[in-house]
Amino acid sequence: MRKNHMMGVVLFGLVTMVALTLLYGIDLGRDLVQVNQNLSSETKFPVCSVQTEKQQMALSFDTVWGEGNIQEILAVLKRNGVKATFFVSGEWVEQYPDRVKEISEAGHELGNYGQSYADMRQLSDGECQEELMSVHNQVEKLTGYEMSLFRPPLGEYDNHVIENAERCGYRTVQGNVDSLDWKDYGVDSIIQTVLNHHDLGKGSIVIFRSSAMYTAEALEEIIAELQSRGFDLVPVSRLFDSK
């Protein structure tokens, strides 16, 4: 009886071990599948700033609506020896080809803002790529310059948008300091928003709009103060070179 009892205990133990192994093996497999799914669906983000030890930052301008103060902005940049990045839409390029040439000839960088200011999250792969390449080809034909930086219209993006930009040879860029100049609160508001921003520092990308009412006037003081703090103001792509 004792022998049979011992055999029963051993058998029960073996069955229990097999059951637990199968149970946890299945759970482990599920965990591994879940991890792989998470890795494959990792959320992508645009570059908002660049980690660098150099005392550099970039000024960028969304150039989409009207001629705005583009000539005044170019004059301020020239007076202060600053090169910046202008993100242009295809519709703006079509309306103001001479201004596009003027920006390029002044030594500034041109970036892609999409053809039609569309929310590209809602577009197919083909439509996304057409939005990008239409502007790309227009700018290259006008200036000979091949753009490589893309800023999503409306500030809206997802993996779909960023991956299609990558397929077209573009790096997606936003910024970490928004001047909020579009609110038209006045010159001092823009100056204080930029200079007192908690993220302002090495590798920052500052966002302005060339059509905003007070941007050109505020720019003079912002540049002077940033330069007095020892910052070298460069086009966005230069930040990547200085990492």
Q: Within this chain, do residues 113 and 233 fall inside the same structural domain, yes or no?
A: yes
Domain of residue 147, residue span = 56-241
Closest CA to 62 of 83, 87, 89, 82: 87
pLDDT, position 7: 44
Q: Within this chain, do residues 106 and 225 fall inside the same structural domain, yes or no?
A: yes
Range 178-190 average pLDDT: 97
Q: Within this chain, do residues 121 and 197 fall inside the same structural domain, yes or no?
A: yes
Chain-centroid distance of CA 63 in Å reads 16
Residue 113 scores a pLDDT above 80: yes
Bigger pLDDT: 11 or 73? 73
Q: For the range 125-128, what are the long-range contacts, defined as Cβ-Cβ under 8 Å and sequence gap of 24 or more?
A: 125/160, 125/164, 125/167, 128/160, 128/161, 128/164, 128/165
Q: Within this chain, do residues 144 and 234 fall inside the same structural domain, yes or no?
A: yes
Range 56-77 average pLDDT: 95
Q: Within this chain, do residues 31 and 101 fall inside the same structural domain, yes or no?
A: no
Maximum distance among all alpha carbons in the chain? 103
pLDDT band, residue 51 (cuts 50/70/90) = very high
Residue 6 scores a pLDDT above 70: no
pLDDT, position 243: 62
Bigger pLDDT: 120 or 26? 120
Q: Within this chain, do residues 235 and 144 fall inside the same structural domain, yes or no?
A: yes
Taking the model in full, what pTM does it have? 0.83
Q: Within this chain, do residues 103 and 187 fall inside the same structural domain, yes or no?
A: yes
pLDDT, position 86: 98
Q: Within this chain, do residues 27 and 116 fall inside the same structural domain, yes or no?
A: no
Domain assignment of residue 50, yes or no: no
Q: Within this chain, do residues 110 and 168 fall inside the same structural domain, yes or no?
A: yes
Q: Within this chain, do residues 109 and 8 fall inside the same structural domain, yes or no?
A: no
- DSSP calls for 16-27: HHHHHHHHHHHH
Domain count across the chain = 2
Residue 5 scores a pLDDT above 60: no
Residue 42 scores a pLDDT above 50: yes
Give the pLDDT confidence of 200-222 residue by residue, as tens digits.
999 999 999 999 999 999 999 99
Say what percent of the chain tops pLDDT 70: 82
Q: Within this chain, do residues 234 and 148 fall inside the same structural domain, yes or no?
A: yes
Bigger pLDDT: 41 or 98? 98
Closest CA to 71 of 174, 215, 234, 221: 215
Q: Within this chain, do residues 28 and 74 fall inside the same structural domain, yes or no?
A: no
Closest CA to 116 of 150, 94, 137, 90: 90
pLDDT, position 117: 86
Which CATH number goes with the domain that contains 178?
3.20.20.370
Structure tokens at 83: 């090169």
